[in-house]
Amino acid sequence: LSAWAQVEMGPPDAILGITEAYKRDTDARKINLGVGAYRTDAGKPYVLKSVAQAEQNILQQSLDKEYLPITGLAKFTSAAASLAYGTQALDRVAVTQSISGTGALRIGGAFLERFHAGKAIYVPGPTWGNHGAVFRDCGLKVGQYRYFDPQTNGLNLAGMLEDIRALPKGSLVLLHACAHNPTGVDPTSAQWAEIQKVVEECEHVAFFDMAYQGFASGNVDRDASALRSFVEANRAPVLLAQSFAKNMGLYGERVGTFSIVGADSAERDRLLSQVKILVRPMYSNPPVHGARIAGEVLTDAGLREMWLGEVKEMADRIIRMRAALRGQLEELGSKKSWNHITDQIGMFCYTGLTPAQVDRLASEFHVYLTRDGRVSIAGITTGNVQYLAESIHKVTK
């Protein structure tokens, strides 16, 4: 008898299941709106030109493959911290390279489990499907605050503030810095100011997840403004998980950072020493190649300029596809309001489609998305948007 005979088959990953169903479908009109990765208007994965050039520069240097320090490549982490925080507070920020955004959340979860008394973290309802699993596997309890309003397909600000205010003083609150996944609903800057005020009054800890800097507005500074405003006020403790998967298209290279903002540089040093103690037994030190690429893009003036242009280009294509989808639905005479398609921002749109409508889209129209009605706008192209609008119109009539 095997030692693992009692191990049961686990459920498949919801999003990967969609990709498989899409692959099996042989219809030429099929559309995959499940994938959380950018696609060009030809529906293809995109290697950024700035990234390809940076990789060439690095190859020409014939660098060795020695280990990085526990906290990773300093040229990359310091440039990444400036990208996130701007020019302020950098002498207070304890930063380490991470295995992309997921790895950063994992280090943050482990840090909070070790040093925070409450041991519960509160995430928006709904949130990225992996947040709960990551934090639970770190030994934290996971709670929820209200976020999305299905009536308006927008933000439930009153519910959010009420829930955050009702948490025990000093609670851990996870906030999406921009381009909320899965809803595409971000607070306005006035709403962010109210959220910040409540978090500060309640002495909560703000853990920002920034997986899409630049992807929401097309501007990396604008997308970091909520984070920067918290840090500038310096009243709430701040942690940050930063990913370069989407905004540099470095998905599989696993490039990110985790950082904590200390009260001063002495506290930063103490925090960083503890982060090292967490990382060392987890994976010892991070991979080098992707960090070299991102470090080169961020610090070479020409490549950085090129990259910022490419980020804007990706964000703009997504914004254009939102407008095209809404426009087509309105042109078809849909009686429903589709304003939320263009009000929402970033890679994802919470359409308000029901699970039954999503099932019909797959079985009758070869259009694949998650059953919560989330559409990855990156899967929409000028070539398929009309067919998509017709299909959505037919299942929502």
Is 128 known to be catalytic?
yes
Give whichever of 176 and 393 is closer to ligand PLP, judged by the CB atom. 176
**Residue 108 found at the interface with ligand PLP (CB under 6 A):** no
Of 149, 171, 176, 172, nearest to 160 by C-alpha is: 149
Cα separation, 48 vs 228, in Å, equals 27
Establish if 36 lies at the interface with ligand PLP (CB under 6 A). Answer: yes
Angle at 210 between CA 45 and CA 183, to 5 degrees: 75
Instruction: Give the burial string for 263-291 (b: 16+ CB within 10 Å, else e).
Output: eeeeebeebbeebeebbeeeeebbbbebb
**Can you tell me which of 237, 256, 286, 290 binds ligand PLP, judged by CB under 6 A?**
256
Q: Minimal distance in Å, beta carbon 277 to ligand PLP?
A: 23
Distances (CA, A) of 53 to 136, 181, 197, 300: 40, 30, 43, 11
Active site residue 4: no
Which are the contacts of 299, defined by CB distance < 8 A and separation ≥ 6?
75, 79
Distances 66 to 70, 72, 141, 230, 313 between C-alpha atoms, Å: 12, 12, 38, 38, 36
Using CB under 6 A, which of 172, 175, 211, 353 touches ligand PLP?
A: 211
Tell me if 102 contacts ligand PLP by CB under 6 A.
yes
Q: Which stretch binds ligand PLP (CB under 6 A): 95-103, 140-148, 262-270, 307-315?
A: 95-103
Beta bridge partners of 256: 98, 243
Angle CA(257)–CA(89)–CA(286) in degrees, nearest 5? Answer: 15
Shortest spacing between CB 361 and ligand PLP, in angstroms: 22
Query: In angstroms, what CA-CA distances link 110 with 106, 203, 285, 350?
Result: 6, 21, 16, 31
Q: Which of 30, 128, 223, 307 is catalytic?
A: 128
Rounded Cα distance between 100 and 81, Å, is 14
Q: Strand, coil or helix: what is 164?
A: helix
Burial of 246 (0-12, 13-18, 19+ CB in 10 A): buried
- Annotated catalytic residue, options 186, 209, 223, 338: 209
101 binds ligand PLP per the rule CB under 6 A = yes
| Cβ-based nearer residue to ligand PLP, 181 or 213 | 181
Integer CA distances (angstroms), 159 to 28, 226, 338, 351, in order: 44, 19, 23, 21
Binding mask 109-148 for ligand PLP (x = CB under 6 A): -------------------x--------------------
Orientation of helix 289-299 relative to helix 74-85, angle to 10°: 50
**Given 97, 100, 217, 376, the residue binding ligand PLP (CB under 6 A):** 100
Task: Tell whether residue 181 is a contact of ligand PLP (CB under 6 A).
Answer: yes
| CB nearer ligand PLP, residue 36 or residue 262 | 36
Asked if 242 interacts with ligand PLP (CB under 6 A), we say no
CB 42, min distance to ligand PLP, A: 22
Pick the catalytic residue: 30, 163, 186, 246? Answer: 246
Q: Which is nearer to ligand PLP, 100 or 351 (CB)?
A: 100
Three-state secondary structure call for residue 71:
coil
Integer-rounded Cα radius of gyration of the chain: 21
Considering only the stretches 99-107, 219-227, 272-280, 387-395, report the one whose residues sit in contact with ligand PLP under the rule CB under 6 A: 99-107
Between 22 and 338, CB nearer to ligand PLP: 22
Q: Write down the least CB distance from residue 181 to ligand PLP, Å.
A: 4
- Residue 286 engages ligand PLP in binding (rule: CB under 6 A): no
Task: For residue 290, state whether it binds ligand PLP (rule: CB under 6 A).
Answer: no
SS3 260: strand
Q: Minimal distance in Å, beta carbon 80 to ligand PLP?
A: 13
Q: Which of 68, 72, 116 is nearest to 95 (CA)?
A: 72
Beta carbon nearer to ligand PLP, 31 or 105: 105
Q: Would you say 243 or 391 has its CB closer to ligand PLP?
A: 243
Which is it for strands 238-243 and 205-210: parallel, antiparallel or unpaired? parallel
Q: Tell me: does residue 76 bind ligand PLP (CB under 6 A).
A: no
Catalytic residues: 128, 209, 246
Interacting residue ranges for ligand PLP, rule: CB under 6 A = 36, 100-102, 128, 176, 181, 209, 211, 243, 245, 251, 256
